[in-house]
Structure 1
Amino acid sequence: MKKNILHPFEAHQANLTRRAFFGKMAKGVGAAALASMINPSVLFGSNIGSINAHLKNNLGLPHFPPKAKRVIYLFQNGAPSHVDLFDYKPMLRKWHGKQIPDELTHGKRFSTMTGGQLDRPVIGEISNFAQHGQSGAWVSDFMPETAKVADDLCFIKSMYTESVNHAPAITFFLTGNEQPGRPSIGSWLTYGLGSTAKDLPDFVAMTSVDKQASCGQIFYDYYWGSGFLPSKFQGVKFRGGGDPVLYLKNPEGISRNTRRKMLDDMQALNEMNYQEFGDPEINTRISQYEMSYKMQMSVPELTDLSDEPQHVLDMYGPDVKRKGSFAYNCIMARRLAERGVRFTQCMHAGWDQHTNLNHQLKIQCQDTDAPSAALIKDLKQRGMLEDTLVIWGGEFGRTPFLQGNIKDEKNWGRDHHPYAFTMWMAGAGVKPGISYGATDDFGFNPIENPVHVHDFQATLMHLMGINHEHFTYKHQGRRYRLTDVHGHVVKDILS
C-alpha cells in the first residue's frame, strides 16, 4: 500500500501544537518587544554581575551618590494610633466626651464602621506623654524604649494618604497604587540598583503578628511582589516557623555535590529552552536555582544567633529567639543588612484597634517598642546607621473621635484615619532629632508641611540615589514609576 507523503509545510503544520506556536512566536515580534523592556543581558542568560553593569550603564543608576545603601522598613499593619503614641494633643482631653467639630468631619470618608455614625465624641489619649532627649520629642509612655532613641529619629507628623481601608492603603504605600499588580518598593530598588548580597536575596520580606492581637491584617504576597518587573526581583519571603525558606534542604540521599551536578544539568536544559523560546522567566528560574543552592549554606549561618552577645539579644527583648516574632525579625533584619541585603521588609500586624484600644494598644507597643529601638541602637553601635535607612509606620492613623459607646470604656476604639498620621525615619541621610510637620489641635488634618505617600516614596528613592521622576519601566505601552506622576522629595528632612 502506497504511503501518503506530506508536503514539508504540511508536516510542520501537523506537528505544530498551540503551545509551541505561541512559544515560538516569542522569538519573533514578542522577542523584539521584550528586548525594549527587559535587560538585554538577562535575555542572553548573563550572570548577576553583568546585569548590574547593564543597569548602571543604560539606566544611569544611581543618578547621584546615595546616602543609603540599604533599607529596613518596619511596616506596622493595621495603623498605629498617632494621637496615642507620637502626636500629643492636649485638646483631646479638654474635649473628651464632646462631639468633634462638624467642620473637621464634614465631607470626610471613614470606614463603614463609623461612616454612618452620627455620635462622634472625642476621646483623650489613653497614654501619658512626655518630652524626651535634647530634641524634646513628644512620645507616649507606651513607647519607653523608642523615647530613649528619640534624638536619632525624624518624626514626620503630617503624613496623609488616600484610602480608608487597609489593603488598598498598604498597597498604595508599598507599590504607589491602591490596586495590586505594581512592583513593590523593594523590587524597584533591586531592579534598578542591582545586587549587593552574594549568598542571599537582595529583597527579603518577613511577617509577624502580635500573639495576643484580636484583629490582625492579611499579608498578601503582592506586598513584596515584583508586579510587571521580571519575577527575579520579587521579595523572598522568610517564614516565621520551621525552615525560613521552603525546599532549601536536599532530599534524603541527595548530597550537595549531587545537587550541584543536577543544577548544572538543569541550567544547560534551561539555556537550551531559552534559546528555543526566548522567555525571560526561564532565566529567572536559572538564577533562583542558583540562589537556592547558595542559601543552603548562608541561611543556616544567618539564623544562628549563637554568635550574638547576650547584651545585644537583651536589647531586642524576651521574644528575640522566638521565630516569627517581631523581635526575631528585627535582629534578622540587622543580620541581613550586614550581609548586603538591600531591602528588608518587616511587616507586623495587630494595630487595628476598633474596639479594644484600652487593652490592646499597650500590648502591641510592648511587642514592638523594644525591638524597634534596639535595631536603631544596634545599627548605630556597629557604624551601620550611617548608610542604613530605617522606616517605622503604618498605612494611616486613627481617628481622634471614638468608635463605640463612650460609656463602654472597655470597648473603646478608633477608626481608620487617612487624613493625618505619624511615622518616623532614621539613619542614612535623614536629619536626626527633629519633628517635621504638624497637625491641628485634634490631630485631624495637617496644618504644616503635609507629606503625601508619593512624597515619602520620592524621598526614599532620593536617599538611595535615584531621581524618582527618571526611573521608569515600560509596560503595555506606558512608562511606569513608583510615584506614578506625583511626588516631591521632602528636602527639609535631609541631612
Structure 2
Amino acid sequence: MITRRSLLQRTGCGFGSLALAGLANASSQNSSAATQTHAHFPPKAKRIIFLFMAGGVSHVDSFDHKPHLYQADGQMLDFADQRAIKRGGTGANRRVMKPLWEFKQRGQSGLWASDLFPNIASKHMDDLCVICSMHTEGVAHGPATLFMHTGAANFVRPSMGSWLLYGLGTENQNLPGFVSIGPSLGNGGPRNHGSAFLPAIHQGTPIGRAGVSAHDLSFRNIHSARDLPSARQQFELQQALNLGQLSAKPGDPELEALVNSYELAWRMQTNAPGVVDLTRETQATLNLYGVDQKPTDDFARKCLMARQLSEAGVRFVQVNYNTNSSSNPAWDQHSDMPKHAEHAAAVDQPIAALLTDLKARGLLEDTIVWWGGEFGRTPYAENNGTGRDHNPSGFTMWLAGGGFKPGHAHGNTDEFGHYAIEDKVHMHDLHATLLHQMGLDHERLTYRYDGRDFRLTDVHGHVVKEIIA
C-alpha cells in the first residue's frame, strides 16, 4: 500500500512542480485578494513610516515649550503622579528642572521647538502636526511600549502594522506589507510586530534587531543568482510536502500562512535585494541623510531603507532607534539628561532628510511620518538629580504628511508640561486617527476571536478631526 508520505518521497521534485503549479494558482488568488484595497472610505494616505524613539524623548526639552519651567527652576514642589504613587511615595519635594536646550519659534507657522533637533526645527516645523497633549497607559517601558504598538498592555494583541495589513492588504505581493527595521528584543519584543490571533500572514517582517549595525541589516536567507536553480528545486519539494499537509488539514490558518510565507519568501529572492540597496542612491542623497558620516550613519541607513521600502509598496515601515537593553532604552535618561543630545545628533539629520526626500519625490502627500516614543518625561529632576523620570500623563508626538495639518500644534499640557489638560489625545485616539487617514474606520476594523470581536482600539478611541487638513 502506497501511503501519502511514500508517494511524496518517490515522486520528489516532479510532483513538486505539479504541486507548485496548484499552489501558484491558489497563490495568485490569495495575492489578488491581498493586494485589493478594502478601505472603508477613500484614504488620505497609502503608507506609514513610524520613527520609534524608544525610551521616551523629553517633550519639555524638545517640542513642548513651557516658559514656567524657567521661572520655577530649582523650586521643590509636589508632583503626585502615577510614577510616584506606584513607587509608594507622595510626589513631594521634587525639584523643577528647566529645559536644557533653548526654545525658539520656527518657520512661518511659528511652532515652538528647541535646539535639541536643529535640522528638524530649522527646516521642517512647517511640515509637522505636533500633538502636545498625548497621554497613554503604562508607567514602565514594557507596558507603555506594548500599548503603543498593540493598544493593550495585558493581553497578546495584534500590532498596529498587522491590523493595517489585515484591513488593507499589501500593495506589492513580492514584498512584505509590514517591516520593522532594527526592532528590540525587549519591552514587548516580537509582540510589537506580531499578528497575535490575526492570520499569521499579517505579522511584521523584522530586518535585523536593535544593537546590530545598519551595515548588516538585510532580508535574511536571500539566495544569490547562482544558487537560484538549486533553491527553486528545494522550494518545489518543500511546497509539495506542504501541500500534503494542507490536504490533511484543509483550512488550517497557521499552515496556510506558512505556505504563503514560503511563497512570499521565494518571490522575494528576485525582488527584495534590489529594493533594499543603498548603492543605487546618488551620493547627494547619501550625504543628505548622513550615510557614512558620524554619528548619523546607522540611523541614516535605516531611514533611507524605510524610504526605499515605502516607495516599493510596503504599507507600514517602522524604524526603531533603540539599544538592545529592555532596562535602559535609548532615550531613557533618568540621571543624565545631557545624553539626549547624543541621541538627537544621531537621528536629527536622517529624519529631516527623510522628510525632505519624501517631499521631493511627491511621496509625503500620501505618506504618514509618525514620530515619538512610548511616553514623555517629567518636568522635575528624578531623585533631585540630573535626569527626568517617565511621564505617560502628558507628552508630545508629531505627524507629517498623509493629510494632517502642517505647521499645526494641537492640545496642551499644564504650565509644567506634566499633565495633558487641553484637547487631550489618548493613544487609542491616535490609533483611530491614523487608521482613519488610511481609509479605515477603527470601529469597523474588527476580527472575531474566541467568541468576541476585537479591534485595535478595543472599545475606546475617537478620530481627532482637528488635526486633519
Q: TM-score range by the shorter chain?
A: 0.7 to 0.9
User: Equivalent residues in 2 for 1:310-325 (5 A)?
Assistant: 310-319=283-292, 325=298
1:401 aligns with 2:380: yes
Query: Are 1:230 and 2:199 matched, yes or no?
Result: yes
Contact 2:62 2:113 in 1 (8 A): yes
1:185 matched residue in structure 2:
160
The match for 1:154 is 129
Residues 55/179 of structure 1: CA separation in 2 closer, same or farther (3 Å cut)? farther
Shift in Å, 1:46: 3.0
**Relative to 1, partners in 2 of residues 1:97 and 1:244: Cα closer, same or farther, differing over 3 Å?**
same
Provide the alpha-carbon RMSD of the alignment.
2.6
CA contact (8 A) 2:137 2:143 kept: no
- After TM superposition, the score normalised by the length of structure 1 is 0.82
2:62 equivalent to 1:85 = yes
Where in structure 2 are there 5+ consecutive unaligned residues?
A: 1-22, 323-329
**1:161 to partner: Cα distance:** 0.8
Deviation at 1:115, TM superposition (A): 4.8
**Code of the aligned partner of 2:129:** C
Asked whether 1:479 is paired with 2:453, we answer: yes
**3-state DSSP class of the match of 1:244?**
coil
Q: What is the alpha-carbon distance in structure 2 between the residues aligned to residue 461 and residue 116 of structure 1? A: 39
1:102-134: per-residue Cα shift (whole Å, max 9, x none)?
3xx336334867956643010100110111101
CA deviation map 1:319-377 (0-9, x unaligned): 5799992221111000001100000011212100001112x111111011111111111
User: Following superposition of structure 1 onto structure 2, how do residues 10-29 of structure 1 map, counting pairs within 5 Å?
Assistant: none
CA contact (8 A) 2:31 2:173 kept: no
The one-letter code sitting in structure 2 at the alignment partner of 1:269 is L
- Is 2:306 aligned against 1:326? no
Measure, in 1, the Cα distance between the counterparts of 2:302 and 2:181.
Answer: 7
- Given the alignment of the two structures, is residue 106 of structure 1 paired with residue 66 of structure 2, yes or no? no
State the match for 2:8 in structure 1. Answer: none
Find the residue that maps to 1:109 and give its secondary structure: helix
Query: Which amino acid is the alignment partner of residue 399 of structure 1?
Result: T
Larger-Rg structure: 1
Q: Which residue of 2 aligns with 1:15?
A: none
Contact 2:183 2:206 in 1 (8 A): no
**2:147 maps to what in 1?**
172
Counterpart of 2:388 in 1: which secondary structure? coil
CA separation of 1:228 and 1:260: change in aligned 2, threshold 3 A: same
Identity over the aligned pairs, expressed in percent? 45
Tell me, in whole angstroms, the C-alpha distance in 2 between the residues paired with 1:160 and 1:493: 16
1:354 pairs with 334, 342, 353, which one? 334
Q: Rate the CA distance shift 1:368–1:319 in 2: closer, same or farther, 3 A.
A: farther
Distance 1:470 1:48, change over 3 A: farther
Aligned counterpart in structure 2 of residue 294 of structure 1, from 264, 267, 279 = 267
Q: 2:259 & 2:333 partners in 1: Cα distance?
A: 45
**Alignment correspondent of 1:465:** 439
Q: Does 1:437 align with 2:411?
A: yes
From 259, 268, 293, give the equivalent of 2:231: 259
1:270-305 deviations in Å (ceiling 9; x for gaps): 122111123222222222122222222333222322
Q: What is the number of equivalent residue pairs in this alignment?
A: 434
Name the aligned partner's letter for residue 186 of structure 1: G
- Between the aligned partners of 2:45 and 2:191, the Cα distance in structure 1 is 25
Which segments of structure 1 move beyond 6 Å, counting only runs of 4 or more?
111-114, 320-324
Distance 2:402 2:128 in 1: 11
Q: CA deviation at 1:258?
A: 2.3
Alpha carbons of 1:381 and 1:49: their partners in 2 closer, same or farther (altered >3 Å)?
A: farther
TM-score between both structures, scaled by the size of structure 2? 0.86
